[in-house]
Amino acid sequence: MRNGRITLGRAAQWCGGTAAPEFAEIAFSGANFDTRRLQPGELFIAIKGARDGHDFAETAMQNGAAAVLASRPLDPAIPAIYVEDTVKALQEIARHWREQLHIKAVGVTGSVGKTTTKGMIASVLQTAFVTQRTEENFNNGIGLPVTLLGMDETCEAAVLEMGMNHFGEISLLTSIAQPDIAVITNVGTMHIEYLGSREGILKAKLEILEGLRPGGVAIFNGDNDLLSGVAAQHHALTFGLGRQNTIHAEDIRSRDDQTDFTAVGFGKRIPITLRTVGEHNVVNALAAVAVGLCCKLTPEQIQEGLLHFQNHGMRQKMYVRDGIHIIEDCYNAGPESMRASFKVLAGAQGRKIAVLGGMLELGSFAPREHYLVGKEAAKAADLLFAYGENSGEYVRGALEEGMQYAREFDTHEDLTAALQKTLLPGDTVLFKGSRGMKMERVLQNLDTSEIGGKENG
């Protein structure tokens, strides 16, 4: 990748910037805004944030940057493109670069499940194509352009996650990505604080269709009430557990950390094995099956891709530590993903313990949503440990539903200490909460080798 692909003169023309004539033929491959992650030959994006990226321009050059995208004067010896707004310029450069790439682009958005679905789609596509995807949380107006600029002419497929919490954000991302296939995993209540209603969230998610290329395909979760209502209007294919969908699942069977089912649709029956559990993951996989079939992959390629898919980060990792069965799902949370995790917990062995952090960005809906999730937790778990704003509503809902032990805690440390005294060998513990709750801290500080079972044994 590190041979230069885009000259400064070309990039300046694309974004309406200027580059000194003596630097116009300098070329870069890829882009980065973090000098710690920057690779030799990349364009360093000087972003004004909590820290001004311009202050790190010289460090970037010392680390091998080809040039700098800047909005204020730098040392004249530094090759640079000068623009008014470096983020907008980055987006324009990425938009033009995407148009040079001969790739099959898949855009993925949704209230929950989009990162897992993105991973499953990429795993399927890479059985047939050189495939790249947005990594980590690179699903915004900076991360997505950086991802695109990291692709070279050998790339054949791209899976691009698009996140948002305000109107217009996905509209921008899809205009850059220009997807051939647009997938919407669901419409729930995440970000309702900013969008006002689920109907508002639907409107924001549907923005992904604005950038769909001519002849492009929309693929919606047909089990979702709002998406099913607009699927026909947008000529969308649908996926889900319901038989009314273009592609659906039959014969779902889960055991230990594996799920088997048959994907039915497009005139085919495809046996699928996932190395993960939960009906929500079956639904995610059906989206990947639909994309694979739209891209003319064989059933065998789709099977292989999904068989080798593994969740990364803190998304529903399941493992055993010192006799305790742990479900680590700390990356994010909303009412819908909480309920999906409870289904996994309910099917686990031993005592079932829910360790829940608060759900953010629910606005005025937050107290009621936490209360309702607490009631659902009582149906799946034996014990509830809650932390964060509105955690008292979790507890209230759980106790009203009949749970015997449900407590809220003000600090991670207090929660960890109480959990430490409570755990018994054979227990199954779910750790889940919004990213801002940092529930992984409880898990990291928990010494399962010293479990006591003193409080609720």
Mean pLDDT of 66-92: 97
Q: Classify domain 317-450 by CATH number.
A: 3.90.190.20
Q: Which residues pair with 68 in a beta bridge?
A: 44, 80
- The answer to whether domain 6-84 has CATH 3.40.1390.10 is yes
Instruction: Say how far apart CA 44 and CA 146 lie, in whole Å.
Output: 10
How confident is residue 1, by pLDDT bands cut at 50, 70 and 90?
Answer: very low
Tens digits of residue pLDDT in 188-224: 877 687 788 999 999 999 999 999 999 999 999 999 9
Q: How far apart are CA 125 and CA 107, in angstroms?
A: 13
Averaged pLDDT, 84-92: 98
Q: What is the pLDDT of residue 276?
A: 87
Q: Give the residue among 434, 431, 449 at the shortest CA–CA distance from 327.
A: 431
For position 302, what pLDDT does the model report? 98
Residue 250, helix vs strand vs coil? strand
Three-state secondary structure of 371-388: HHHHHHHHHHCCEEEEEC
pLDDT at res. 135: 84
Q: Which residues contact 106 (CB under 8 A, 6 or more apart)?
A: 121, 125, 157, 158, 159, 160, 179, 180, 181, 182, 183, 291
Q: What is the pLDDT of residues 404-429, one digit of tens each?
A: 999 999 999 999 999 999 999 999 99
Q: At 264, phi and psi to the nearest 5?
A: -120, 125
Confidence band of 312 (pLDDT split at 50, 70, 90): low
- The confidence score (pLDDT) of residue 452 equals 56
Gyration radius (Cα) of the chain, Å:
24
Least confident of 65-74, 75-84, 179-188, 439-448: 439-448
Q: Categorize the per-residue pLDDT at 454 as very low, low, confident or very high, splitting at 50, 70 and 90.
A: very low
Asked if the model's pLDDT at residue 343 lies above 60, the reply is yes
Q: Tell me the C-alpha distance between 209 and 312, whole Å.
A: 28
Identify the pLDDT of residue 315.
66
373 falls in which pLDDT band (50, 70, 90)?
very high
Q: Please give the share of the chain, as a percent, with pLDDT higher than 70.
A: 96
Query: Residue 257: which residues within 8 A CB-CB, separation 6 or more?
Result: 275, 276, 277, 318
Strands 80-82 and 18-19: what pairing?
A: antiparallel
Q: Distance from CA of residue 358 to its chain's centroid?
A: 19
pTM of this prediction exceeds 0.85: no
**May I ask the CATH architecture of the domain 101-307?**
3-Layer(aba) Sandwich (3.40)
Angle at 388 between CA 387 and CA 392, to 5 degrees: 75
Sequence spans of domains, the chain: 6-84, 101-307, 317-450
Predicted local confidence at residue 4, as pLDDT: 62
For residues 298, 212, 335 and 198, what is the CA-based torsion angle, rounded to 10 degrees? Answer: -140
Secondary structure of residue 158 in the 3-state scheme: strand
| Residue 110 Rama label (left phi>0; alpha psi -120 to 50; beta) | left
